[in-house]
Amino acid sequence: MNRGRKISGGKYHQNRKKKLFERATQETVVTLGETKRKIIRVNGGNSKTILLKSNSVNLTIDNKTKKAEIKNVIETPQNSFLARLNRLSKGTIIQTSLGKARITNRPSQEGSINAILIKEK
């Protein structure tokens, strides 16, 4: 069977276009660099701040939060190639001024980077 075809061989036609809220947005990539944000309009006329580049992180150490500088991206569990591109995403291990940390939020969705310090064994 050909995809998008009826059993008779005729084509299925789309009955309408996608509405604005049904369309997918362009993938947001957060990289290491001087902090840069963007404001996007979302459903209901609300706005969302997304992060494009950042070099600082809100680091949680024993239930206390400190601001630290990101020095390097060490490892990305989803894809090792992303670490070489200095991409920041949830689960990424980063080197900060206070030690190694793991990113716990989705920076491309929230406009900031939160992380927890990894205990060295």
CATH of the domain at 62: 3.10.290.70
Is residue 58 included in any domain, yes or no?
A: yes
> Tell me, what's the pLDDT at 47?
93
Domain count, the chain: 1
Is residue 22 included in any domain, yes or no?
A: no
What does the pLDDT look like over 6-19, one tens digit per residue?
889 899 988 999 99
> Tell me, what's the pLDDT at 114?
96
- More confident site: 32 or 21: 32
Domain holding 97, by residue range, is 30-117
> Tell me, what's the pLDDT at 14?
86
Please classify residue 55 by burial: count the beta carbons closer than 10 Å to its beta carbon, then call 0-12 exposed, 13-18 middle and 19+ buried.
middle
Enumerate the H helices of 33-115 as residue ranges. 80-84, 107-110
Is residue 78 included in any domain, yes or no?
A: yes
Is residue 48 included in any domain, yes or no?
A: yes
Helix (H, G, I), strand (E, B) or coil at 52: strand
pLDDT of 1 higher than 60 = no
Query: 98 pLDDT band (50/70/90 cuts)?
Result: very high
> Is residue 64 within 8 Å of 53, Cβ to Cβ?
no
Is residue 66 included in any domain, yes or no?
A: yes
What does the pLDDT look like over 27-83, one tens digit per residue?
889 999 999 999 998 889 999 999 999 999 999 999 999 999 999 999 999 898 999
> Tell me, what's the pLDDT at 33?
94
> Tell me, what's the pLDDT at 27?
87
> Tell me, what's the pLDDT at 43?
87
Is residue 2 included in any domain, yes or no?
A: no
